[in-house]
Structure 1
Amino acid sequence: MDRLTAVRVFVEIADRGSLTQAAEHLEMSAAMVSRYLAAVETWFGARLLHRTTRKISLTEAGQAAMPACRQLLEITADVQHIAAERSREPAGILRVTTSSSFAEAQLTAALVDFQRQHTQVEIVLSVSDKASDLVAERVDLAVRLTNTLDPTMITRPLARCHSMLCASPGYLERHGAPRTAEDLRQHRCIAHAFGIGKQYRLTRNGETLTVPVDWSFHTNETAVLRRAVLSGAGIGMLPTYYLGDDLRAGRLVQILPDYNADVLGIHAIYLSRQHQPLALRLLVDFLAERFAGDPAPWDQALE
């Protein structure tokens, strides 16, 4: 006897409190429902329902078995949903959000390549360094650089984000290059955001140190920080995914390469694993493959 159907019958009887009503809903005879119920009780090796002339209720064994039975039915529904969607071409609108700098440096090109493979998918990309409310803003996917994840969201790691201290050749000609982390206290430094404190947190040879500095320029946008560093305003901390062309062309120079900044995770963030649109599921898989590796592809290019 089909065990999956037997589980479905058991859950239906428990929800409706009646073999007759369950039989009507499942379009089975009452005798067939009884046989399926007997089969599932044999399978579990315990009586699952108290049955009287007036009502039906779960036994202690039935209460213990019910969560697993419901989960089995949910997993089955998801598998059927995935199988049905795999047979068709993904289509529809995907609303994606990320930071401006990551969109410019990495994500936009990736989304364009994804659309070349799936021409019926329309993408709306919004940029912001602030965490979006996925529900209120109707966002399907957020790609965020953070080590602080919302436990109510579903996340999938895509890559790791390293950062480095850098400056323009012109700035170094005027002010010289720092030789140690403590030398940063004598330099003009650019803050990536307001309220982060007047300090750099760096690690060298497994030892973490905090270096107090005075910010000469503040910005909450990575693209602006990069432009300020390129213009010779001072030393800045920038993500490596954004620096490849500048370093190779000599427009920027890495400072204190023996010192490492904190590493951030790059995550795909979305609302639920259940009944995902096919386009969203394929996009997350595409990005995970595109950005895979440690170091990430952009860091491999730098090496």
Structure 2
Amino acid sequence: MSTNQGLALLNEMATFVKVVETGSFSETARQLGTTPSAVSRSIARLERSLGTRLLHRTTRKLRLSESGEQIHASCLDMVHAAYAVMEKSGHFHAEPEGTIRVSVPKAVGHFMIHPHLPEFLAHYPGIDLQLLLEDRYIDLIDDQVDLAIRITEHPPGGLMGRKLIDIEHLLCASPEYLTTHGLPVHPHDLKHHQCIYLGEQAADSKWKFQQGNRLLTVAVRGRYSANHTGIRLDAALKHIGIASLPHFVARHALETGQLVQVLSDWHFKTHYSGGAWVLYPPTRHLPPKLKVFIQFLTDKLTQEPTLHQHSAAAIAAVQQSVHNGSDHPDTI
């Protein structure tokens, strides 16, 4: 087929995509403002030019042939590319609209994503959001989800996406707890403290640390464990002990001085660390509603303060308090 012939069939190709989308010649005709017979002739011309049957037609439904499936995929790419050209050329200024279904882990959704969403909804009145807070694995296709935010070091193959932010974990406690029980200066000091950990499996009470090339593991204990970050945060605020928390959960309490980071010169390693990735099924042309949502989250989360921007002054204050405090045997 010559280039001129291919160009002459662009309209037929677009009509073919619409027929597959609607599953009906009559509905396609209604949407395109023409007649069913005109749609039928357009498909017949395309089949004739390509030398293959694209659709199996019965009185009740249409079904793609084997060659029709392959040709439809290429025609669909063509239609998407046409929309992309229109967007870039400034001839397509429709506001992003539609519903976005987003799967996100519970703590990430509550503490990190949700606080920014009222601003997004105000800025994009044509978009509705459905936030699905789930810690279980979500299959984007089976669960009909547009985007999934996952914490991982290695994003799964078969998906596209963007890293939003690194998820850092830390140990923290209230100044009141540290004044009473002492400030640990080495991970081994944690053996003498009440530690608030996840508690889902035995490894959760074996805290791992790294400082340069030094790696060590400390078996900690405590009277209270909880597999919910909000509960561990509240327990630390109530002076129960030293808690393991994601930075995004503890951030406000660190900023206000309600909590202090402990052992900040050691890197606290956990299986639950990694990057927060926004993932979606592979596609050449991401819908505008998803583009603006992903960019919005990227802009907001990259402005978040990092773990190391807190605690220095707070730790100094606690150290002074401990130094001027009592002769408590746990005081260092």
State TM-score, norm by structure 1.
Answer: 0.70
Asked if the contact 1:193/1:221 (under 8 Å) is kept, the reply is: no
**1:28, distance to aligned residue in structure 2 (A):** 5.2
Query: Which of 280, 293, 312 is matched with 1:283 structurally?
Result: 293
Amino acid at match of 2:234: R
Query: Which of 220, 239, 242 is matched with 2:246 structurally?
Result: 239
Query: Which of 258, 266, 279 is matched with 1:259 structurally?
Result: 266
Question: Structure 2 matches for 1:1-303, cutoff 5 A?
Answer: 2=3, 5=6, 24-25=45-46, 76-83=78-85, 87-195=93-201, 197=203, 198-262=205-269, 263-274=273-284, 276-292=286-302, 297-299=304-306, 302=309
Q: 1 CA distance for matches of 2:307 and 2:173? A: 21
**1:23, distance to aligned residue in structure 2 (A):** 9.1
Provide the secondary structure at the position in 2 that maps to 1:233.
coil
Percent of aligned pairs with the same amino acid: 25
Q: 1 CA distance for matches of 2:178 and 2:50? A: 86
Asked if the contact 2:194/2:241 (under 8 Å) is kept, the reply is: yes
Q: 2 CA distance for matches of 1:235 and 1:124? A: 35
Aligned CA distance change for structure 1 residues 4 and 195 (closer, same or farther; 3 Å) = farther
Provide the secondary structure at the position in 2 that maps to 1:265.
strand
Q: 2 CA distance for matches of 1:150 and 1:196? A: 27
Amino acid at match of 2:105: S
Provide the secondary structure at the position in 1 that maps to 2:306.
helix
Q: 2 CA distance for matches of 1:4 and 1:184? A: 76
Aligned CA distance change for structure 1 residues 161 and 216 (closer, same or farther; 3 Å) = same
When the two chains are superposed, the root-mean-square deviation of aligned CA atoms in Å is 3.4
Aligned CA distance change for structure 1 residues 216 and 300 (closer, same or farther; 3 Å) = closer
Q: 1 CA distance for matches of 2:171 and 2:81? A: 47
**1:148, distance to aligned residue in structure 2 (A):** 4.3
Asked if the contact 1:160/1:265 (under 8 Å) is kept, the reply is: yes
Aligned CA distance change for structure 1 residues 238 and 127 (closer, same or farther; 3 Å) = same
**1:276, distance to aligned residue in structure 2 (A):** 3.8
State TM-score, norm by structure 2.
Answer: 0.65
Aligned CA distance change for structure 1 residues 301 and 104 (closer, same or farther; 3 Å) = farther
**Cα deviation 1:259-295 (Å, max 9, x = unaligned):** 1123510100222324543211221122123223xxx
Asked if the contact 2:170/2:247 (under 8 Å) is kept, the reply is: yes
Unaligned ranges ≥5, structure 1: 13-21, 31-66
Could you say which residue in structure 1 is the equivalent of 2:39? Answer: none
**Cα deviation 1:121-141 (Å, max 9, x = unaligned):** 011112233332333332221
Asked if the contact 1:23/1:29 (under 8 Å) is kept, the reply is: no
Amino acid at match of 2:107: S
Q: 1 CA distance for matches of 2:114 and 2:301? A: 13
**Cα deviation 1:223-275 (Å, max 9, x = unaligned):** 11111111122111212222232112221011011011235101002223245
Asked if the contact 1:241/1:298 (under 8 Å) is kept, the reply is: no
Aligned CA distance change for structure 1 residues 283 and 94 (closer, same or farther; 3 Å) = same
Could you say which residue in structure 2 is the equivalent of 1:54? Answer: none
Provide the secondary structure at the position in 2 that maps to 1:298.
coil
Asked if the contact 1:168/1:251 (under 8 Å) is kept, the reply is: yes
Aligned residues: 251
Asked if the contact 1:189/1:217 (under 8 Å) is kept, the reply is: yes
